[in-house]
Amino acid sequence: MAYVGNKPTPTPLSGDDIQDGTIGLADLSATGTKDATTFLRGDNAFAEVLSGIEWQTIVTGSTLTAVAGRAYWINTTSNTCTITLPSSASNGDQIIFADYARTWGTNKIIIDSNGLNYQGNPDTFTVEYSTEGQIVNIVYSGATKGWIPIQDDLVEQSGIPPATQRAIFAFGDTGSVVGMSNLMNSSGVIGSDVSAVGSSYHSTGATNYGGDKAIYAYGYNGSAATNKSNLVSNQGVVASDTTGVGTARTSLAATAYGYAGKAIFGFGYASNVSNISNQVSSAGVIATDSTGVGTARSGLAAAMYGGDKGIFAYGQDSSGGDNGIATSNLVSNVGVIASDVSGVGTVRYALAATSYGGDKAIFGFGYRSGVGTTAISNKVSNTGVVASDTSGVGTVRYELGAASYGGDKGAFAYGRQGGTRYSTKNLISNSGVVASDTSGVGTARSNLKGAEYSFSS
């Protein structure tokens, strides 16, 4: 943290305060009592400090007008953020700010106390916080001292996944099922093949879980649908098979949700298209089937949006043929799948999806009869609204994978067009722009999936 002008540096909580259980990162409140738990989230770092504080959608803009009783993830990846506090406040009012992407060290936050004192100093002083990974928890104490930080400490990397997200593309179809994987680093570079671990299969679901790990599950093993799963460590190591739970099926999708590192697999094809789902705990344990919601379908895709929610969209329903649908189903931050939302964009299936920009998502590529293979994409806002088509970029293909990387970017990779399989990659910027083709690395294949994990040294 840094102050400009004559602003004195506030006294941080002592180590004893944080370690003795009286006040800690996960249980700070205006009274200092324990009333919440620290949680981990999908492709970035999240800590839910209070059960009574209302966490807001991720802030990416250059300004914010803060409201008492709320907590804000401030993503300064692209710019500094100036935060204006309320012009009036009552004793005990509380606001929390957290470094969403661990970028405050590059782009700081500036707090305008809006006429009220800040730690006993008038509004003429400039207050800045510029420490990577910081969380600032302020409470209003009255007119004399005004807003006082009861916490302004660094959130240690050991407690949350690092922002330098990496990804993995694994399993797939080369003409026969394979079990190889390819790791993608935090700069979007895909590495060479890693030997298979566990049984080979394709048409799986895959997602992040536990905040820093990934899981593959279900799919086709070359002769039948399966419900086995494989965990991926935060080093990108694929574990051996775990005995399956739930209905064996193929061509399903999965997404993380919430702040607790949970995930959900949904839809897919068993003896017919289905809409069943299976939740995944923060420890990577898959639950039994949940009753289906929404149009039964397969060949769909899913991704996180809004920082803590998910979306399933597109696919092929029971009408058969190759037309596909554009229907979407939102997933709440407690893992509840909502009913159908009318489709937007070109109907298709065998596409891929990933999050980008910290709180948005994108669906891309796919196949539709009469149109064939396509490279169009559809962005999803941080409120879960699917946008109309964006013209395709890159080699048209389907049965590809996608994953986010670097904390706020993404990539589409691999796939096929007719009988030709690719290892081609298309990077996605943190504003959702899909780049032209990058020469492929690794074995060309289709029907694979990508998922995020966080490297821990």
**In percent, how much of the chain has pLDDT > 90?**
68
- Partner residues linked to 274 by β-bridges: 268, 297
**pLDDT higher than threshold 80 for residue 11:** no
Q: In this structure, which amino acid lies at residue 441?
A: V
**pLDDT higher than threshold 90 for residue 420:** yes
Return the number of other C-beta atoms located less than 10 Å from residue 457's C-beta. Answer: 5
**Residue 252 near residue 263 (C-beta atoms within 8 A):** no
Return the number of other C-beta atoms located less than 10 Å from residue 259's C-beta. Answer: 20
Lowest mean pLDDT among 4-13, 47-56, 123-132, 289-298: 4-13
**Average pLDDT rounded to a whole number, residues 277-303:** 95
Per-residue pLDDT, 414? 98
Per-residue pLDDT, 53? 84
Those residues whose C-beta lies under 8 Å from the C-beta of residue 410, and which sit 6 or more positions away, are 354, 355, 356, 362, 402, 403, 404, 427, 428
Mean pLDDT for the chain overall: 85
**pLDDT higher than threshold 90 for residue 84:** yes
**pLDDT higher than threshold 50 for residue 287:** yes
Q: In this structure, which amino acid lies at residue 144?
A: T
**pLDDT higher than threshold 80 for residue 14:** no
**Average pLDDT rounded to a whole number, residues 85-114:** 93
Buried/exposed code over 19-57 (b: 16+ C-beta within 10 A; e: otherwise): eeeebbbebbbbeeeeebebbbbbbbbbbbbbeebebbb
Give the chain's end-to-end CA distance (angstroms, integer). 26
In angstroms, the Cα distances linking 392 to 220, 296, 305, 448, 449 are 29, 27, 22, 21, 20
- Partner residues linked to 450 by β-bridges: 169
Nearest to 29 by CA among 56, 54, 49: 49
pLDDT in tens, 389-398: 999 899 999 9
Per-residue pLDDT, 47? 37
pLDDT in tens, 28-56: 333 333 333 333 333 333 333 344 688 99
**To which residue do tokens 């394709």 refer?**
202
Per-residue pLDDT, 320? 59
More confident site: 81 or 3: 81
**Average pLDDT rounded to a whole number, residues 343-358:** 93
Nearest to 233 by CA among 255, 215, 251: 215
**To which residue do tokens 């807001």 refer?**
56
**In percent, how much of the chain has pLDDT > 70?**
84
How does residue 402 score in pLDDT terms, banded at 50, 70 and 90? Answer: very high
**Average pLDDT rounded to a whole number, residues 327-341:** 96
**Average pLDDT rounded to a whole number, residues 112-136:** 88
Per-residue pLDDT, 39? 33
